[in-house]
Structure 1
């Protein structure tokens, strides 16, 4: 009799499953989705209750054929894609392709790829969850309706190749709104005054002026500060009041997806995308010397802080035996979830607390170790005793008019902070060590220090703070954050500069057009409510078709109005307050294939164009063109000298025989771009590899002396030869399954080197 078949989502899970159930089951992988909406058409019949037309994904024909082959005579199929909405959709599409009379399908949810987790899933099979599938369908259709019907408008009105997304556009709006707040911000001067004081015994300490005449201090300028300093010059500093208290501080709960992403970004300098890729690998299984791969963490897409009682008990046992009984709890600590949180999965935790980071270090890559260490410590700390902290605030009177204050704290019992220091989890600054003093004690004044400050605008969003903002506003779901952050950069709507998001000119243009024409779609509250509605579909409280009907009735009206009313900036550009230096007419910002530039509205009579700069306040200024009249080389077409000029796309060489000869070249003989420090691998070529952009804005790598050398690669070359086939270079690759690695570019050679 044919064995039952288990179908998982990721091929990397197969080894882990075979380790535990390989003799009893056949195992296959779908490698993600096998069906989707068609690429070139909407794929949704709006008039027939939004019925979707699914097609097999083009690249999955071999996968589908293999699944059919393995399932040929199988009576029972266990559907084991990831335990979330996307996994449920994959399960339903597999059922659709493999349906057969008398064949039975079971849905199993593997929350951790361990012997225990796999056995529990197989012992408690479920029916496929139609409501969860409907929720995924609703999200997919909403995203398709928005993306496929707004994007063509952007092609017509702005530039070809642009796209809009139901959630990504809201993320861009949040970034644009913050940038405008920064530009409007008016810096104000203020001063602080600090007294360096000494009691009878060291240490000395600094106290800040907090009140004048019993009112909160506000010092606007240097004169006010100087007047206060004169008053304080003869003042006696006396301890007025001492406030002391002991607080008990609880640890944070184990990680949910969004908090893991934020911490990994801030502490490990990982991107959200990298965090999820590394976590996926830890979940799917790694060889740790136990006879096959083993899942090291629970499922990494979770909004829940719930943990299994046996995992909590194991943590108590580990803490007592290893860290110390005084750090353990009499009974495990459990955390309450926030309202509306889906509780299908546990929090992200190690599958075994006894797999300490140090024990596994030799089996993990550096990135895997760092992330596992973070997850392990957070979980163990969540089950440790409270920290006990003595806090003291000293209020100091300087004449009846001035009140100074200083605070300090001492850790009385470290508790969980012994493993997971508090200052990594809070915004508290290191506090001072304070002397033992009593009320009425006179203090010696060592120095009084005035300091000038200026108010700062709100900060730009980093990856971590944007994830936090999306989470706070209920925009998207933790599993989508990494994709959102990647897409808005890839589309050119924002740039990540020194780890902070800055909207591009294109981002502002597209955002403003969408906000004016689709206020609901770009409304933060509306988008958050849609997430709640999708949750209601998953719970069976709302019909998928009802959600789509309610959304589309207003969206269609906006779409029809936008086709007529959306302002076209294609060819016209965006107005500025600058005048053309050649003819005096207005300059507009135009969008070209290679970016944005200033162009005269008097074209074609006036052909002035220029690069431009925009300062912190958003003011646009012309970048003076560079003309170097020094002869660089002779023109290959007419023989006349070529000189260096600067155009809207950077420096280039131009023939002095213009307009009779219009030959141009880039300064380095090819296109401009960033040199990556790798020699061109072509034989006898003296060029280097530079990073460039294609006409569609996609990054590729080519030789610096193009067109004399035509070497080009979509993957980043590395100056390292292949040990198997002697290829002069390798290329960098990154996949969800394998993470980052080097690969030989020779298709007949399968060499890989994992980093």
Structure 2
């Protein structure tokens, strides 16, 4: 579905109201049940035979099929959650249930029925379903697939949904040694990934060599592939593969990050290490004790002294114009 066609489907099934459509679509994307994107089509060749004036013309043509644009694609997490709810809560995951609840809401709003009686009727059926589901002991987690054995250790290799999304695992929690884990790459799915593809993931992290006397390694974490050097992480561009990146390419990424960091730090003060002038997304600002302070546009940041900075901090604190460095939110002064 596109966002528009999904809304039309919700209307057709009687699910939700106009005011709930946008929050619903936003929520399923924020929780990563679906992701919005494009899908490249595949070229297909076909044969065309035309009869004209008793003559047969035979030619081969090609076309692109299966291409999608700005569609909502279900993720592994969305598929697993949907399968679980459909299996254990079929009465709730039913189009007619949602539509009937809307009618109940209308009756409550019109004063024809008490909301407490509606809630009691719902929980009389829902609560036992929850208790029964909690009591069920399954051998494997919902959505988990056993792909085979690791040829080196002989331990089982599986894929499942972990805390941070789709992941692969070698071994089990019952083993003496802790299981090994690896995040799936973007574009890989626990539904279709093969044993060979999973074993490739466990070749990371790998050591590329040394730079400036420190080890350079490459791995994949929660936020994607990275280069690690001297306890500093550098994200890999989408165009680079962690399995093929060279030491020279990694060194270039390290130097580029250092250059960006140097541009970010405008000025520091030995007398007050907690105060620093930085270059941010919206321009220069003062960072001091976990808070951020604006620098007026008519002031050159490099010309500010420590006394000038502390004065700007004092004025903005009094006006309640401080913003938290952790959340970037305003912290108004209490009166």
If the TM-score is normalised by the length of the shorter chain, which range does it land in?
0.5 to 0.7
1:582 aligned to 133, 152, 174, which one?
152
**Shift of the alpha carbon at 1:687?**
5.8
Contact 2:34–2:73 under 8 Å retained in 1: yes
> What SS does structure 2 have at the residue aligned with 1:547?
helix
Q: Secondary structure at the match of 1:475?
A: coil
Shift, 1:507, TM fit: 1.8
Instruction: Say whether the 8 Å CA contact 2:32–2:78 is kept in structure 1.
Output: yes
Q: Do the aligned partners of 2:217 and 2:227 also contact (CA within 8 Å) in 1?
A: yes
Question: Could you say what secondary structure the match of 2:262 adopts?
Answer: coil
CA distance in 1 between counterparts of 2:214 and 2:158 reads: 35
| Matched-pair contact (CA < 8 Å) for 2:144–2:158 | yes
Give the direction of change, closer, same or farther, for the CA distance of 1:530–1:608 in structure 2 (3 Å limit): same
- Quote the Cα distance in structure 1 between the aligned partners of 2:21 and 2:85: 21
Within the alignment, does 1:609 sit opposite 2:149 as a pair? no
The corresponding residue for 1:543 is 114
Q: Provide the C-alpha distance between the structure 2 equivalents of 1:601 and 1:576, rounded to a whole number of angstroms.
A: 11
- Quote the Cα distance in structure 2 between the aligned partners of 1:568 and 1:673: 39
Q: How many residues align?
A: 230
The SS at the match of 2:98 is: helix
- Which residue number corresponds to residue 51 of structure 2? none
- Cα distance, 1:574–1:526 mapped onto 2, change above 3 Å: same
- What is the DSSP-based 3-state SS (H/G/I as helix, E as strand, rest coil) of the residue aligned with 1:468? helix
Contact 1:537 1:543 in 2 (8 A): yes
Per the alignment, do residues 496 and 512 of structure 1 end up closer, same or farther by CA in structure 2, a change over 3 Å counting? same
Higher relative CO (Cα under 8 Å, sequence separation at least 6) belongs to: 1
Selected match of 1:633 from 208, 211, 224: 211
Contact 1:580 1:608 in 2 (8 A): no
Deviation at 1:517, TM superposition (A): 2.1
1: distance between equivalents of 2:236 and 2:160?
Answer: 21
Q: Tell me the residue number matched to 1:685.
A: 262
Larger Rg: 1
2:96 aligns with 525
Counterpart of 1:643? Answer: 217
Q: Which residue of 2 aligns with 1:619?
A: 192
Q: What residue number does 2:42 align with?
A: none
1:515 CA drift (Å): 1.9
Return the offset for 1:502: 1.8
1:487 aligned residue (27, 42, 49): 27
Q: CA RMSD, aligned part only?
A: 4.5
Give the conservation status (yes or no) of the 8 Å contact 1:599–1:608. yes
> Secondary structure of 1:685's match?
helix
- CA 1:620–1:684 in 2, change beyond 3 Å: closer, same or farther? closer
Gaps of 5+ in 1: 1-460, 656-662, 689-708, 730-743, 751-755
Return the TM-score normalized by structure 2: 0.54
The corresponding residue for 1:562 is: 133
User: Residues 645, 561 of structure 1: CA spacing in aligned structure 2 closer, same or farther, 3 A cutoff?
Assistant: closer
Separation in 2 of the partners of 1:595 and 1:475? 28
Whether the aligned pair in 2 keeps the contact of 1:583 and 1:606 (CA below 8 Å) is no
Give the whole-Å Cα distance in 2 for the aligned partners of 1:727 and 1:503.
50
Change (3 A) 1:538 1:748: closer
* Matched ranges for 1:63-212 at <5 A: none
User: Take 1:712 and 1:515, find their aligned partners in 2: how far apart are those partners?
Assistant: 50
* Equivalence for 1:452: none
Mapped contact 2:169–2:182 kept (Cα < 8 A): yes
More strand by share: 2
In 2, distance between residues paired with 1:727 and 1:493?
47
Q: Is the 8 A contact 2:227 2:236 kept in 1?
A: no
- Is residue 573–residue 588 contact of structure 1 (8 Å, CA) maintained in 2? no
* Alignment partner, residue 506 of structure 1: 77
